[in-house]
A and B are shown apart, each in its own frame.
Chain A
Amino acid sequence: MIRHRFSVEDFHRMAEAGILSEDDRVELVRGEVVELSPIGKRHAYVLNTLVDLLSALRDQGVLSVQNPLVLFPDTEVYPDLALLQPPRTRYRDRLPEANDALLVVEVADTSLDHDLQVKLPLYAKAGVPEVWVVDLVRDRVHVFRKPQGEAYQEARVLEDGELEVLSLKVPVKEVLP
């Protein structure tokens, strides 16, 4: 049995035709429409904290929160946060793609396995240069750099210390109080 796979174009056609409504929280992963889990209060809080902290970079990157990022012709995901190449007007007429991303952040409570096993290889393959996965269960942050094939060559786990992106340093304890 071969499951039918949609393209990003099909996915948008369905949204335009009202088949997938604005309220459906879905993403397209390798041609399959996947439902996103509801966002818990700690997830929401930590994400808002990250937005506050990263907004110091507003001149160096465009903050895109729970917005689409096209990775492949059959994959459009909604990372919790993406820091994109400026300027913002670059994305007026098209969706941001993997090579526009400077950093992607996923906040994971129950979705850690999915983020590490399904999404991380996709980000690596699409060439997203850096990914942070904030693990709310173990209070730590996975930092991945240097994408190669479907993995990252550099993987670190921070329980304290500082995260670093562009010119900004962010203490882990501020992200995960």
Chain B
Amino acid sequence: MTRHKVSLEEFHRMVEAGVFPEDLRLELVEGDLVEMSPIGPKHAATVRRLTAHFASLAARGEALLSIQNPLVVGASELYPDLALLRPDPEDYRFRHPEGKDALLVVEVADTTLRYDLDTKVPLYAKAGVPEVWVVDLPGGRVLVHRKPQGEGYGEVRTLGPGEVLEFMGVEVPVEALL
């Protein structure tokens, strides 16, 4: 049995044709339409804190802050919890940002750690996203991925409480995210 693989173009036409209810949160992952799990309060709190930390970069125009918004990576369309994007003269109004437009992607994992690490991180690597943080809420740690190589990252570091994440001059203490 061969499941029909949905292309990005089909996905967008489905949305336009009203095939999905507006409140359905869907990602397109390698041709499969995947329903995103509802966001729990801890997950939401972490995303708000991350947003607050990176707000200064956005205010200075050094990066665009994109929260739970689409990012096209290869033939997939994902909704990372947070993405820092290269500033764009058109503000990405006429196209979705792609992997090459991303400076940093952060995924907050409450129940989805395996899925984030096994499925999404390789897609971000393949699309050339230079840095990915996966906040493992139950594990109380953050996995920092750098140096995309093929479908993985050449450098993976695990940071715990007491350590500080750093990106473009913004410092984020790990415990602020847990």
B18: CB under 8 A from chain A? yes
- Shortest CB-to-CB span from A118 to chain B, Å, is 6
Given contacts A19-B10, A19-B13, A19-B14, contact A35 B35 (CB under 8 A): no
Which of B4, B18, B20, B24 is in CB contact (< 8 Å) with A33? B4
- Shortest CB-to-CB span from B26 to chain A, Å, is 6
B17: CB under 8 A from chain A? yes
- The chain A residue sitting closest to B37, CB to CB, is A2
Tell me whether A24 and B33 are in contact (CB under 8 A): no
Counting chain B residues whose Cβ lies within 8 A of the other chain, the interface size class is 20 to 34
**B 1-38 contacts with A by CB, 8 A:** 1-4, 6, 10, 13-14, 16-20, 24, 26, 29, 32-35, 37
A173: CB under 8 A from chain B? no
Tell me whether B17 and A34 are in contact (CB under 8 A): no
B94: CB under 8 A from chain A? no
Given contacts A26-B4, A33-B4, A35-B4, contact A4 B115 (CB under 8 A): no
A10 to B21, CA, bound (A): 11
Tell me whether B37 and A19 are in contact (CB under 8 A): no
Per-residue B-contact encoding for A1-36, CB less than 8 Å = 1, 0 else: 111101000100110111110001010010011110
Counting chain A residues whose Cβ lies within 8 A of the other chain, the interface size class is 20 to 34
Tell me whether A35 and B3 are in contact (CB under 8 A): yes
A94: CB under 8 A from chain B? no
Which residues on A are within 8 Å of B, measured CB to CB? 1-4, 6, 10, 13-14, 16-20, 24, 26, 29, 32-35, 37, 114, 118
Identify 28 residue pairs between A and B in the complex whose beta-carbon atoms are under 8 Å apart, listed by A's number. Answer: A1-B34, A1-B115, A2-B35, A2-B37, A3-B33, A3-B34, A3-B35, A4-B20, A4-B24, A4-B35, A6-B19, A13-B18, A14-B14, A14-B17, A17-B13, A18-B13, A19-B13, A24-B4, A32-B3, A32-B4, A33-B3, A33-B4, A33-B6, A34-B1, A34-B2, A35-B2, A35-B3, A35-B4
